[in-house]
Amino acid sequence: MRINHNIAALNTYRQLGDANKAQQNSMEKLSSGLRINSAKDDAAGLAISEKMRGQIKGLDMASKNAQDGISLIQTAEGALNETHSILQRMRELAVQSANDTNTDVDRAEIQKEVNQLSDEITRIGQNTEFNTQNLTDGSFSGKFQIGSNSGQNIELNISDMRASVLGVQTVSGTIGGVADTAVTDNEHKLTSGSYTVADNSGTLELSDAEGNVIGTDAGSGVFEDADGNTVITIAAAADGDSFSVGGIDVSTQDAADSAITTIQTAIETVSSERSKLGAVQNRLDHTINNLSTSSENLTAAESRIRDVDMAKEMMEQTKNSILSQASQAMLAQANQQPQGVLQLLR
């Protein structure tokens, strides 16, 4: 018998420490619901699960981005829906005006409503916004990030849906007149006599946004002396005439008949844009469904790696609790063994 080192007690004490440590780990897992609470629990599993967590959060945010994209499209499509209604009313008025049972006064009243409707289409096109971004004035071009990684996006461009672009707005104005200007020639001595215009083929043209000529004015040409030397060149200037750039005119039967075709073309243009927006919206709906499925599957995979099996861990905790209690009892008995030496000393 040895009393300097109680090997049985030391062994029991070590077993007690291991049981207590295992019990503490089980209690930590049961209280957190996680199998991996720190890198020491499973270094490789932690790295894999963190990567999955990044993917899951990215997919969830991409789904939110797609939902925001749908909201933007719905805003634009709602504006175009109203534009469609206005164009249908304008077409109805054009058909009405094309009937010769209407007098000039009647057509003038119809024209007033047509002009107001045209202005409203322009207002809608200029003022339709989503998050302070104009949508239907031709300036919107953006990308929706619909994936958790870079480059996973959908691009959307919304065409200009203002009345001027649809060809249903009349713009009127006056070309500014130019005052007379004195001309002085410092190189030639001008004397009285007859001078001839050598070339007056220059022409001033006014064009609208689509390139259609809406007015012309001939140039004045070049003046020469008797020896053929150019002495004065005079350019043409605008003379203050009024002008108008195409639009919807229902003031006559012929104009109203032409307006029907113009408005129908505008309706088809808006229909095409709405169809495009609807197609993108449907695509985003499917994108959201796919993102939700991917996020669900990744979450399940991450859960299998990181979450604790509560039933299994309860069994482990119960086992460690019993071992801890047994170790305590055995340690007490091991500490009693050296006292047997005292019996030999009596």
pLDDT tens track for 259-295: 999 999 999 999 999 999 999 999 999 999 999 999 9
pLDDT at 224: 56
Strand pairing of 230-234 and 196-199?
unpaired
> How distant, in Å, are the alpha carbons of 214, 222, 240 from that of 176?
15, 24, 5
In a domain, 40, yes or no: no
User: Is residue 250 a contact partner of residue 107, using CB atoms and an 8 Å limit?
Assistant: yes
The number of angstroms, rounded, from the C-alpha of 279 to the middle of its chain's C-alpha atoms is 15
Distance CA 268, CA 168 (A): 13
Distance CA 245, CA 206 (A): 10
User: Are 151 and 182 contained in the same domain?
Assistant: no
Instruction: Output 282 or 39, whichever has higher pLDDT.
Output: 282
**DSSP class of residue 147?**
S
User: Are 141 and 287 contained in the same domain?
Assistant: yes
The neighbouring-strand residues paired with 203 are: 218
In a domain, 2, yes or no: no
User: Are 206 and 231 contained in the same domain?
Assistant: yes
User: Are 61 and 207 contained in the same domain?
Assistant: no
pLDDT at 195: 45
Kindly give the residue spans of alpha helices, DSSP state H, lying in the chain. Answer: 7-32, 43-97, 104-127, 163-166, 253-306, 310-336, 341-345
Least confident of 23-27, 48-52, 143-147, 281-285: 23-27
User: Are 163 and 265 contained in the same domain?
Assistant: yes
Distance CA 231, CA 195 (A): 10
User: Are 316 and 279 contained in the same domain?
Assistant: no
CATH number at residue 267: 1.20.1330.10
In a domain, 39, yes or no: no
| The pLDDT of residue 233 is above 80 | no
In a domain, 38, yes or no: no
From the number of C-beta atoms within 10 Å of its C-beta (0-12, 13-18, 19+), residue 180 rates as exposed
Encode pLDDT of 11-35 as tens digits: 888 888 888 888 888 888 888 888 8
Q: At what angle do helices 7-32 and 310-336 cross, to 10 degrees?
A: 160
User: Are 56 and 136 contained in the same domain?
Assistant: yes
Q: State mean pLDDT over 198-215.
A: 48
pLDDT at 1: 58
Mean pLDDT, the chain, rounded, equals 81
User: Are 271 and 133 contained in the same domain?
Assistant: yes
Q: How confident is the model at residue 303 (pLDDT cuts 50, 70, 90)?
A: very high
Q: State mean pLDDT over 133-144.
A: 94
User: Is residue 176 a contact partner of residue 238, using CB atoms and an 8 Å limit?
Assistant: yes
User: Are 182 and 105 contained in the same domain?
Assistant: no
pLDDT at 254: 94
The neighbouring-strand residues paired with 130 are: 133
In a domain, 163, yes or no: yes
In a domain, 1, yes or no: no
- 98 Cβ contact partners less than 8 Å away, ≥ 6 residues apart: 250, 253, 256, 257, 260
pLDDT at 238: 44
In a domain, 336, yes or no: yes
Residue numbers of the domain that contains 237 = 171-245
Least confident of 42-51, 72-81, 193-202, 253-262: 193-202
**Where among 208, 225, 245 does a domain terminate?**
245
In a domain, 129, yes or no: yes
Q: How confident is the model at residue 242 (pLDDT cuts 50, 70, 90)?
A: very low
User: Are 114 and 152 contained in the same domain?
Assistant: yes
Q: How confident is the model at residue 329 (pLDDT cuts 50, 70, 90)?
A: confident
Q: How confident is the model at residue 192 (pLDDT cuts 50, 70, 90)?
A: very low
Encode pLDDT of 149-175 as tens digits: 999 999 999 999 999 999 887 555 454
User: Are 57 and 89 contained in the same domain?
Assistant: yes
Domain count across the chain? 3
How long, in residues, is the chain? 346
| The pLDDT of residue 245 is above 80 | no
| The pLDDT of residue 236 is above 50 | no
pLDDT at 179: 45
Q: Which of 196, 186, 252 is nearest to 227 (CA)?
A: 196
Q: How confident is the model at residue 200 (pLDDT cuts 50, 70, 90)?
A: very low
User: Are 299 and 312 contained in the same domain?
Assistant: no
